[in-house]
Amino acid sequence: MELQERLKEVWSKIDAAERDAGRPARSVQLVAVSKTFDADTIRLAIEAGQRTFGENRVQESQGKWPELKAETPGIELHLIGPLQSNKAAEAVALFDVIETIDREKIARAIAEEMKRQGKVLRLYVQVNTGLEPQKAGIAPSDTADFVNFCRGELGLTIEGLMCIPPADENPGPHFALLAKLAEKCGVKKLSMGMSGDYEIAIAFGATSVRVGSAIFGAR
C-alpha cells in the first residue's frame, strides 16, 4: 500500500471508532507522527490533506519543518518527545503544541520563552501512567498539583494530558486513568493512542491520536 492509501485507511478507522463510541464525526484529531521521515515523504501526506503532524526531536524537526510550514499554510506541529530546557527557545519558535510538559523546570522555561517570543502555544502535561522509571511524565498522583502549579504560578493554559502506556500492557486501564485525571484537573483534551491502539484510545475518550508507523511505515 502507498502512504496516501495508508493515511486514508487510518482516517476511515478513526471515523469508524468515533461512530462505534457514539462520538461526533471528526471529533478526534489525527496527529501524523513523521519522526525519522524526510520532507519529501511528509509532503505526500500533506498533499493528501493531512495538516497536523507530530515530531519527537526538536533538532530533527528544525531540519525539515520550517520549509514545509512555509510551503503550506495551516500546518499544526506537535512536539511529542522529551524536551530539554536548553531547547525551549527553538521548540517555542517552531512548534504549535507541546505535549510533553512534565516538570517544573520545563514548564518555567516554556513560560519564559512564550513571553519572550510573544507566542502562545497549546500545552499538554505528559503523565507516566505506568510509573515506568525510563519513561518521561509526571506521576498520576502528582498530576493535579502540577497542572495547578502550571496554571496558577506560571499562568500557562494546560489544554490536555498525554500518555504513552507501557508497551507490554493492555492500554485500556492507562487510557481510563488518563481520562479520570483529566476530569479531576478540569482539562478537556486527551492525547492517547498510537498505531497499535488508537481505536481503543478513541473508545476511552481520546481527543487526539498520535499515529506514525501505520501511516509512514516501519522506522
Interacting residue ranges for ligand PLP, rule: CB under 6 A: 33, 35, 56, 80-81, 164, 194-196, 210-214
In the complex with ligand PLP, the residue whose CB is nearer, 114 or 201, is 201
- In whole angstroms, the minimum distance from the beta carbon of 155 to ligand PLP comes to 26
Residue placing its CB nearer to ligand PLP in the complex, 79 or 181: 79
In the bound complex, what is the minimum distance in angstroms from residue 111's beta carbon to ligand PLP? 22
Give whichever of 88 and 211 is closer to ligand PLP, judged by the CB atom: 211
Diameter of the chain by CA atoms?
A: 50
SS3 201: helix
Cα 149 to Cα 121, 195, 217: the distances in Å are: 17, 33, 39
Least Å distance, CB 215 to ligand PLP, is 8
Residues 6+ apart with CB under 8 A from 218: none
Asked if residues 54 and 81 have their Cβ atoms less than 8 Å apart, the reply is no
73 three-class SS: coil
C-alpha cell at 217: 511505515
Cβ nearer to ligand PLP, comparing 33 with 88: 33
Compute the least distance from the CB of residue 112 to ligand PLP, in Å: 24
Distance of CA 193 to the CA centre of its chain: 10
Buried b (16+ CB within 10 A) or exposed e, 146-156: bbebbeeebeb
CB of 86 to ligand PLP, least distance (A): 20
The residue of the chain with the least Cβ separation from ligand PLP equals 212
Pick 147 or 211: Cβ nearer ligand PLP: 211
